[in-house]
Amino acid sequence: MGDVCTLRPPRKSAIAATSLKAYTRFLRFQAANDTDSIGSMLGKGEIVILLARVQIRVIKLRKDGVEAIVVKDDWHPAADGLGWTGLKIAGQKVWLENALWVAAAGQ
Write out pLDDT tens, residues 67-78. 999 998 888 888
Task: Give the count of domains, the chain.
Answer: 1
Q: Output the pLDDT for position 104.
A: 65
Q: Over range 11-15, report the average pLDDT.
A: 85
pLDDT of 47 strictly over 70: yes
Residue 93: pLDDT band with limits 50, 70, 90: very high
How far are the Cα atoms of 31, 47, 59 from residue 10, in angstroms, in the given order?
24, 22, 23
User: What radius of gyration, in Å, describes the C-alpha atoms of the chain?
Assistant: 14
Residue 29: give the domain boundaries: 4-104
State the Cα–Cα distance between residues 23 and 65, nearest whole angstrom. Answer: 10
Q: 79: helix, coil or strand?
A: coil
How far are the Cα atoms of 7, 28, 48 from residue 18, in angstroms, in the given order?
17, 15, 7
Q: List for the chain the helix, strand, coil content (%; round to 5).
A: 25, 40, 40
